[in-house]
Amino acid sequence: MIERVSLIGVPSDIGASDRGASMGPEALRVAGIVETLEKQGIDVKDTGNVSGPKNPQAKPVDGYRHLAENTVWANNIQEAIYKELSNGNFPIMMGGDHAMSIGSIAAVSRYCADKNKPICMLWIDAHADFNTNETSPSGNIHGMPVAVATGTGHPDLLSIGHAVPMVKPENVYQIAIRSVDKSEKKLVIDSGICVYDMRRIDEIGIRQTMQEILHDVSEKDAHLHVSFDVDSLDPSIAPGVATTIPGGLTYREAQLCMEMIHDSGLMNSLDIAEINPALDRKNSTAKIAVDLTASLFGRQIFPTHSLYQGE
């Protein structure tokens, strides 16, 4: 059971084109993430916000938008999250755009190397985030973190990790994918990461999807890092994101996903990314993110064992 959680705010939208994700951490606080987790018996420490450069709103240079600024943010995030892990706390990175996960993955990978433990990453997202400067139509670094984590990207971004790659490609699992740039698709296929796009989920269901992933992670005896982009959800229930893509996870699919992750006991760190209050309705997207986080940390209607095991 997870007993101590550290919330780490990352108020940045420097990896994206649209402004607003910098308000994501405060939206989660307003939506009651602290109170929700405390009601579940968890000791919650809000560490405040990581700081970094302001968004210069500049055009891409050599296919990267705000490379230097993103690098500073990621390094600062890594130090903050690594500190909490080293102190025995469960870190939740509250983003911020998804480029910020370069820093959180670097921290978790470094920590796992210290412990001689493998790392697996569950990437819950509408997008594969496997672009490079040569494939990205926008140059936005929030479309590149999985590529960077698995060893492809600018040297400044790769150097944030203790090693290259931060995560072995075969230890990356993606679910809810439904928007991949044309040139990015080949990189994803060639990389060897495991992708459960929405068609595959439609065919086999979210239950089998999660069973297969969690079984594999368990067999590897790995630290599971969950990186949850709220645009993985269907826009009908999560409108407050910069890139709304129809056909995402339903509320019940998302709930079952989170409940099964909790039941596995494998999750040891978490990102919540891409909440954009400027595009939201009455903070509804942050509220559903908090609701799903509660399920990730064990909130249930009834104890599962009492219903399904005849006890």
Residue 262 known to be catalytic: no
Of 13, 97, 197, 229, which one is the catalytic site residue?
Answer: 229
Helix 284-296 to helix 251-264 angle (10° resolution) is: 30
Whether 274 is a known active-site residue: answer yes
Give me the catalytic one of 69, 231, 253, 259. Answer: 231
What does the block give as tokens for 46? 């809000």
Q: Which of 13, 66, 69, 127 is catalytic?
A: 127
Residue-by-residue DSSP string for the chain? ---EEEEEEE---TTSSSS-GGGHHHHHHHTTHHHHHHHTT-EEEEEEE--------PPPBTTBSSHHHHHHHHHHHHHHHHHHHHTT-EEEEEESSGGGHHHHHHHHHHHHHHTT--EEEEEE-SB-----TTT-SS--GGG-HHHHHTT-S-HHHHTTSSSSSSS-GGGEEEEEE-B--HHHHHHHHHHT-EEEEHHHHHHHHHHHHHHHHHHHHHHHT-EEEEEEEGGGB-TTT---SSS--SS-B-HHHHHHHHHHHHHHT-EEEEEEE---GGG-STTHHHHHHHHHHHHHTT--SS-HHHHHS--
**Per annotation, catalytic residue among 259, 271, 274, 280:** 274
Residue of 97, 129, 184, 259 with catalytic role: 129
Active-site residue flag, 156: no
The answer to whether 229 is a known catalytic residue is yes
Annotated active-site residue in 66, 142, 225, 262: 142
Q: Write down the catalytic residue from 84, 125, 234, 259.
A: 125
Catalytic residue among 98, 154, 223, 225, which?
98
* 38 in active site: no
Q: Look up 127 and say whether it is catalytic.
A: yes
* Residues classed as catalytic: 98, 125, 127, 129, 142, 229, 231, 274
